[in-house]
Amino acid sequence: MKESLIQYTLHLADNSLILGQRNSEWCGYGPVLEQDIAITNISLDLIGQARNFYQYAATLINNQSAAKVSPPAGGGDLEGASEDSLAYLRKEREFKNCLLVEQPNGDWAQTILRQFFFSQYQYLLLEELLGSRDKQLAAIAEKSLKEVTYHLRWSSEWVIRLGDGTEESHNRMLKAIDELWRYTGELFEAASYELRASGEGFGVDVSKLKESWQKKVSDIFSEASLIPPSGGWGAFMQTGGKEGRHTEHLGFILTELQYMQRAYPGAEW
Amino acid sequence: MTTHQIDKQTIYSYLEEINDPEVPVLSIIDLGIVRDVKMNGEEIEIIITPTYTGCPAMDMITATIKIQLATLGFKKIKITQALSPAWTTEWMSEEGKRKLKEYGIAPPNPKQQVCDQKLFAAAEAVQCPHCNSYHTHRISEFGSTACKALFQCLDCKEPFDYFKCH
């Protein structure tokens, strides 16, 4: 139970951290000031969620070591774990985020679409997580859901605005769909710890979210005059991120994210 | 019982002196983030809840509470963060809303007005804190801090922050 709870909590944390880090790359580069502020605000919310999940995971890990149980596989060097050690000192293969969140920002269309796909997924996930048997996961879900509602509304509006905008913005959205579509299937394919998590009643059965997600995405796409790429829902989907097999991008993200703690171990300011 | 009651009140009065670093006219009591104070023998436990998960002011508020109470001679202070029930602007005091407006930030409207998923919804009617006009419009749902949205008054033309309902 503890082991899968730790893995599951880290997975939720990693998703939020990596997307938060990606979005923060826009800081100072947004297309207009208000949207620069919007995307970095979303970043802040995501990193805040990640902190809550990491803090909880650290508590679980430390309680487990205190009980003299060997630390979980893929947890890195977790002696005296903390939110910082979990974010800054785990290696690429130990990260359990989905592939979607680590994809490059691309242009504004690609960033918007990635946010929309993820927020729609996260919204449905957190709604279910409210009923988790684990009180802390339920509490984090309750807190985060209010923020994710904003992210979802904002990114949905932007998908419609760009898709139904000019020829240029429409074409960029089509390109973004082509780029990101293959990473959406993984969201609904449960990793081993997700299966255990939903089986034990503290996690969400992601396969059950698929239909609602597709329905919501179809609705927004049709309002945005956009269509899924050829192959549609049955297209080939790339998977592996949740089990630690990432695209080449994650290594680069971590290089930047973890630089300070790698170069100056234990640095504080 | 009576002594505890008095002690708790005293702690609350000290906490009223601590302000939100980002909106310094509001005390943490006005903001509604202090959920409870418990007296566990020698130890004082203060239960606080964040406004937004990523609010950077929370760490500073935690540190300030500890320093402030330590200065007053309290030795054992424990700060516990509670996430549920999630903070809502409904917990902001009327006094807090009045102070916000005076400071130039439009206070949050009652909650039922906007927090839903409807797309391209017309911005709620927010009163300009400068000239009191309701002839205002939303520039962006996101503002200078996580808790604010950016508005502009169409009468006096001044831009202003709106402490958004949450």
For the domain that residue A246 is a member of, what is the CATH number?
A: 1.20.1260.10
Question: Strand B77-81's sheet: what is its strand order?
Answer: B34-40, B43-48, B77-81
What's the pLDDT score for residue A213?
97
The CATH architecture to which B2-87 belongs is: 2-Layer Sandwich (3.30)
| Distance (Å, whole) CA A252 – CA B106 | 42
Please give the residue of chain B at the shortest CA–CA distance from A147: B52
Choice between A79 and A8, residue whose per-residue pLDDT is larger: A8
| Distance (Å, whole) CA B162 – CA B141 | 9
**Are residues B50 and A48, on separate chains, in Cβ contact within 8 Å?**
yes
CA distances from B51 to A144, A193, A269, B129, B144 (A): 11, 31, 25, 22, 15
Q: Which domain holds residue A50?
A: 2-263
In a domain, A162, yes or no: yes
- Compute the radius of gyration of chain A from its Cα atoms: 18
CA distances from B11 to A78, B4, B15, B46, B144 (A): 38, 10, 6, 9, 32
Of A30-34, A114-118, A142-146, B108-112, the range with the lowest mean pLDDT is B108-112
| Distance (Å, whole) CA A35 – CA A157 | 12
In a domain, A28, yes or no: yes
Residues 6+ apart with CB under 8 A from A206: A125, A187, A188, A189, A190, A194, A198
| Distance (Å, whole) CA A62 – CA A79 | 8
What's the pLDDT band for B1 if we cut at 50, 70, 90? Answer: very low
Q: pTM higher than 0.90, yes or no?
A: yes
**Are residues A37 and B143, on separate chains, in Cβ contact within 8 Å?**
yes
Choice between A81 and B111, residue whose per-residue pLDDT is larger: A81
In a domain, A144, yes or no: yes
**Are residues A48 and B117, on separate chains, in Cβ contact within 8 Å?**
no
Domain edges within chain B: 2-87, 93-163
Query: ∠ CA(A24), CA(A27), CA(A28), 5° rounding?
Result: 165
Count up the domains in chain A and report the number: 1
| A84 interaction partners in chain B (CB closer than 8 Å) | none
Pairing relationship of beta strands B43-48 and B34-40 according to DSSP bridges: antiparallel
